[in-house]
Amino acid sequence: MNYKNSKRIFEEAQISIPGGVNSPVRAFKSVEKEFPIFIKSANKAKLIDEDDNTYIDYIQSWGPMILGHNDDRVVKAVRESLIDGCSFGLPTKKEVELAELIISMVPSIEKVRLTTSGTEATMAAIRLARAYTTRNKILKFEGCYHGHSDSLLVSAGSGLLTEGYQDSNGLTDGVLRDTLTLPFGNLEKVKLLLEKEEIACIILEPIPANMGLIETKKEYLEGLRELCTKSGTVLIFDEVISGFRVANGGAQELYGVTPDITTLGKIIGGGYPVGAFGGKKEIMDMIAPVGDVYHAGTLSGNPISVTAGLATLNILKDDKSIYTQLEEKVDFMVEKIYELSTKYKIPVCINKMGSLFTIFFTDKKIIDSLEDVIATDTHAYSIYFNTMLDNGVVVPPSKFEAHFIGITHTQEILEETLIAIEKAFKAMK
């Protein structure tokens, strides 16, 4: 592959943009590549870069492109909406329609507030939980990522793990003191902490996907629900990735566990900037202008994002077979990757859930903690990433992320991907 234009653009970008990228994981540093590829267009399951290289896409904009890039139905709705205007700073009927649609699909949500991003949604949810409980301290889990607000950057996942650290600089002593962390999956440690501390909320990804994909046990989520109910602690599910990705009602539908507040993003904008947080009516009615917990945003409920979200969610709601198809595609890929692993004696552990999966290069059979993920072979993942890229397949540029499959990943595309994976495994010999 020729990357001449991407290299040149990256050199220019570093002059005007810190690190040359607007989100750290895009820099490709952790996969031992000097520069990232710069994308100029996309269609269905494919990306095209500035050098006119075409790639099969397993990043899917980190989740929202479940219907594929530029789905005709979504594009048609957006084009029609653009004619009416792209931002008003005033309410629209479509905001109400999207809110009603979300409430009809997500078990925990009785009322919902739209935001511009998932980061903003989790930040507001934390503030709301503190106001509701009149407590200051929060509990999050090591390796779970909830956006880049101060409270949630303590022991976070995603880009922080990719860059080789967990706590961002610039956090105050007060933030560090009020944000408590524990290893994900250890219910006994949560129980002991809640017996000692008054905690406003517990926030977690019910399906962690920012330290690589970690498969959650139902008993763990049920236990957290019971402990929160008993202690008066608000349970927040961050479903920015899992919401509408693994089921219409997200992880809470799959596991049958209902949180007090849910945060959403990604798919509810059909790929356009959007987020949301919602939950019990008694909690949500504490938000201004009804209550005194302030949340605002000029672009909250942006009409273009809302239009794309309405089109996407209505398609997912009307055709539930989409989730079955996606799971079958993932099952096929995982089975074939394990066959290649055996053939070339490259040890891997693959975690999967719905339309997500992560390949860990390790001889450990089960990966269920951040420590397990950190111990996996980073160099092997770099070989995998770069070989895939050179063979026209884009996978996450970090071992701490998940692969996403969309409905436009055809059988032919999956078979083509497996050819590239075989080449990657040969390169590791």
Sheet holding 199-204, edge to edge: 111-115, 275-279, 261-264, 234-238, 199-204, 137-141, 179-182
Report the Cα 108 to chain-centroid distance in Å. Answer: 19
- Strand 403-404 and strand 393-394: the pairing is unpaired
Q: Please identify which of the residues 3, 55, 145, 255 carries the catalytic annotation.
A: 145
Question: Is 266 one of the annotated active-site residues of the chain?
Answer: yes
- Strand 199-204 and strand 234-238: the pairing is parallel
Report residue 218 as tokens.
């139902």
Calpha distance 376→356 (Å, rounded): 19
The one-letter amino acid at 56: I
Contact assessment for residue 239 and residue 272, using Cβ atoms and an 8 Å cutoff: no
Calpha distance 225→87 (Å, rounded): 39
- Strand 179-182 and strand 199-204: the pairing is unpaired
What is the residue-wise DSSP string for 367-379?
A: --SHHHHHTS-HH
Q: Please identify which of the residues 49, 71, 178, 238 carries the catalytic annotation.
A: 238
Calpha distance 141→187 (Å, rounded): 11
Calpha distance 395→383 (Å, rounded): 12
In terms of DSSP H, where are the helices of 112-249?
118-133, 159-162, 173-178, 187-196, 218-231
Question: Is 238 one of the annotated active-site residues of the chain?
Answer: yes
What is the residue-wise DSSP string for 152-182?
A: G-TT--THHHHTT-SSPTT--HHHHHHEEEE
The sign of the CA dihedral 204, 206, 212, 214 is positive
Q: How far apart are the first and last CA of the chain?
A: 22
Q: Please identify which of the residues 29, 46, 137, 266 carries the catalytic annotation.
A: 266
Calpha distance 65→207 (Å, rounded): 18
Calpha distance 74→68 (Å, rounded): 10
Question: Is 132 one of the annotated active-site residues of the chain?
Answer: no
The one-letter amino acid at 111: K
Residue with tokens 């979504």: 74
Query: Which residues on neighbouring strands pair with residue 115, listed in sequence order?
Result: 275
Residues annotated as catalytic (active site), given as ranges: 145, 238, 266
